[in-house]
Amino acid sequence: MAGFLADAVVVLHFTVLAFLLAGGFLAWRWHWVIYPHLALAAWAVLSIITPTVCPLTVWENDLRALAGMPVLETGFIDHYIDGVWYPESASTLVQLVLGSIVIFSWAGFYAGHRAARRLSRC
């Protein structure tokens, strides 16, 4: 059962990363989404600039150990994404591109929110 739960945490982790990339765009439609998205983005920046360990990675490792599986020797991104989806040498470039997409989504959210407020005053 612990192995299955460890796999479920991996799926949850990928879902969180997808939300990190798409959450700002979702906020264009559902404005309340911007708040959890901002919190997640702050966590992502913190995890990039400091040696912070993601609680989901800790949880996955605990479940892996409980199931008798080897634990991740690196973080989630390093294990499942870097060198798998793109070369490790492109890591900084990928972070900059993905960060730019998130910032673009925030700019669109802000522009849409501002336009809606302007129209509601008329």
For residues 95-109, give the mean pLDDT: 95
Global pTM reads 0.86
For residues 93-105, give the mean pLDDT: 95
Among 40, 38, 34, residue whose Cα is nearest residue 17: 40
pLDDT digits (tens, 9 = 90+) for 2-22: 999 999 999 999 999 999 999
Distance in angstroms (rounded) separating the CA atoms of residues 87 and 89: 5
Among 37, 72, 35, 36, residue whose Cα is nearest residue 54: 72
Residue type, 29: R
Q: Is the pLDDT of residue 48 over 90?
A: no
Q: Which residue did the predictor score with more confidence, 74 or 116?
A: 74
> What pLDDT is stored for residue 122 in this prediction?
63
39 falls in which pLDDT band (50, 70, 90)? very high
- Taking only Cα atoms into account, the Rg of the chain, rounded to an integer number of angstroms, comes to 18
pLDDT digits (tens, 9 = 90+) for 50-81: 988 899 999 999 999 999 999 999 889 999 99
> What pLDDT is stored for residue 97 in this prediction?
96
For residues 25-45, give the mean pLDDT: 96
